[in-house]
Amino acid sequence: MTTHKIRRRSVIQAAGAAAAAGLLGSAPRAALAQDWPSGPVRIIVGFPPGGGTDALARVVGQKLSVMWNQQVLIENKAGVAGVLAAEYVAQQPADGSVLLMAHINSHALAPSLQPKLRYSIERDFTPIVLVGVTPNLLIAQAGAPAKNVKDIVAQCKAEPGKISFGSAGQGSAQHLALEMFKQQAKVDALHIPYKGSAPALTDLMGGQIQYVFETMTAATPHVKGGKVVAIAQTRTKRAKSYPNVPTMAEQGFPGFEATTWYGLAGPGKLPPAVVQKINRDVNTVLAMPDVQEKLDQYGAEDGGGSADKFKRFIESETAKWAKVVKDGKVTVDS
């Protein structure tokens, strides 16, 4: 086992132990017994089955179901790049029975892209725990003529507005990664939004579109299966699981960083004892070797830690992407 993995596991376990300490007193324990849901717990995913958000929700949900000896159901409510699912969870009882696999789309991009957003991140949600941060991969159909980012830029300049890039929806992380690329490369391209990663990947493999800035989580099975090819990754450092795929920064786009991230959140005013229990148990799940193996495979790194860490992370991401949206004058159909 690598030193990095051991260190990461120690940090996660320490965070879990700290969260657990808050549950040892009789008052928190009594509050939890009163507040914890007796029926199934539902984790709402804002995208169809087969995408990255769905995949990670199922990994975590299955482990929690065993740990809690309680049904943990994954429920897909796709639409508006994850916003519909967030709207739904914001209106649910704050008792731990309904959670959201919060996502960069619903919790960092939507506030600046959707002026008529029907929820407030600060008021209507309780951050619980960051599950993971992944790069996007710039992918093409296997056999595509472009071998690197320079080739794609040349294509876009030769046929302005005609080279097609799919995404998981207007206002999605994939869409914003494309907008960042267009701004930095000074090119025009055709954006084709889908209702989630799975249908976009299907059309990419079928040749209906040419490229996608797709989450590493959703793209990995198809890259490993040889159906799509990874041209670049979008964090400033290469993911451990993709040591041979160069970053956008390495291919002439210094500082290019467009991630996708996932974390559990509940409705606003979720009882602190419930937040502590879920945070502690998810930290325990993320430290499990078989879960770490899956997270590494998908490029999902830096998960775990406190609820406050997740809250501060959401705030920093919201500010970063608001600037990109403003500078690029990016709009989406409401």
Domain boundaries, the chain: 3-133+260-327, 135-251
270-305 b/e with 16+ CB inside 10 Å = b? bbebbbbbbbbbbbbbbbeeebbebbbbbbbbbbbb
**What's the token pair of residue 101?**
């696999």
Q: What is the pLDDT of residues 285-304, one digit of tens each?
A: 999 999 999 898 778 899 99
Instruction: Please indicate whether residue 188 or residue 24 has the higher confidence score (pLDDT).
Output: 188
Query: Which range in 169-173, 253-257, 282-286 is most confidently predicted, on average pLDDT?
Result: 282-286
Kindly list the distances between the CA atom of residue 191 and the CA atoms of 259, 319, 321, in Å, as whole numbers in the listed order: 18, 24, 18
Alpha carbons 283 and 22: distance in angstroms, whole number: 15
Check: CB of residue 184 under 8 Å from CB of residue 234. Answer: no
Alpha carbons 103 and 136: distance in angstroms, whole number: 14
Alpha carbons 41 and 120: distance in angstroms, whole number: 23
List the Cα angle 246/247/249 in 5-degree steps. 125
Instruction: Assess whether pLDDT exceeds 60 at residue 21.
Output: no
The mean pLDDT value of the chain amounts to 89
Q: What is the pLDDT of residues 100-143, one digit of tens each?
A: 999 999 999 999 998 889 999 999 999 999 999 989 999 999 98
The answer to whether 3-133+260-327 and 135-251 have equal CATH topology is yes
Q: What percent of the chain has pLDDT over 90?
A: 71
Predicted TM-score of the model (pTM): 0.79
Give residue for tokens 């975590």: 60
Average pLDDT score over residue span 202-222: 94
Q: What percent of the chain has pLDDT over 70?
A: 89
**What's the token pair of residue 144?**
């595509």
Instruction: Please indicate whether residue 325 or residue 86 has the higher confidence score (pLDDT).
Output: 86
pLDDT value of position 217: 84
CATH of domain 135-251: 3.40.190.10
Average pLDDT score over residue span 29-39: 71
Q: Using N-to-C axis directions, what is the helix angle for 307-327 and 173-185, rounded to 10°?
A: 40
pLDDT value of position 25: 40
Alpha carbons 235 and 99: distance in angstroms, whole number: 28
The CATH superfamily label for domain 3-133+260-327 reads: Bordetella uptake gene, domain 1 (3.40.190.150)
